[in-house]
Amino acid sequence: MTNKQPSINSPSISTEDAQQLDLLREHRRRHRQKQKDKTKIWVDLEHLETPTLTRGQRLADQVAATIGSWRFIIFQSTGIVLWIIGNVLSGTNAWDPYPFILLNLLLSFQAAYTAPAIMMSQNRQSQLDRRHAQNDYEINVKAELEIELLHEKIDILKEQELLRLTDSVRDLSAQLEKLSNQLIDK
């Protein structure tokens, strides 16, 4: 598709307007080229990159998924309540009497190992999120460039139409002038 731009030397627009149009076109062209050079688009990261997870990463994801579920919360809460009830009802034969030191030790042990596993899983997910955000940004930049290109094409079409209308008005004015001179001469 060839876009014929209005001639800069056209008498329909002033030299100053023509210079401004040229500056605007050059600025848009440079900006579009700069963005085009640095923009590469990934449409679907999951299909382009299938990350191979290490055993530790898979384990961290499984731990995070398990601990972050309602099923685990209900299971753990039930276990704690049964532990306390069992020890209270056992009276003097309790395996973990009232301050429940053994229960505290088990819960601390669980927290000591699950917190780092959850953090590892979150860090990996954060990296994926950053890649997705970068991908979204690059797609948005590309869309912005396409929209800008469409705006430029519309501006050029408007300029061409304005020049045609200006030429038509000038021609009609000349014809009116000619007709009025003919009427005056008669």
Per-residue pLDDT of the chain (186 residues), as tens digits, is 444 444 444 445 678 777 777 777 787 777 777 766 665 555 555 555 557 889 999 999 999 999 999 999 999 999 999 999 999 999 889 999 999 999 999 999 999 999 999 999 999 999 999 999 999 999 998 899 889 889 988 998 999 999 999 999 999 999 999 999 999 887
Strand locations in 29-123 (E): none
According to the model, what pLDDT value does residue 7 have? 46
Q: List all residues 6 or more positions away from 118 whose beta carbon is below 8 Å from its beta carbon.
A: 60, 63, 64, 67, 68
Q: Phi first, then psi: give them for residue 62, nearest 5 degrees.
A: -65, -40
Query: Taking the domains of the chain in order of start, what are their residue ranges?
Result: 31-185
According to the model, what pLDDT value does residue 3 have? 45
Q: What share of the chain is helix, strand, coil (3-state, %, to 5)?
A: 80, 0, 20
Is 0.85 topped by the overall pTM? no
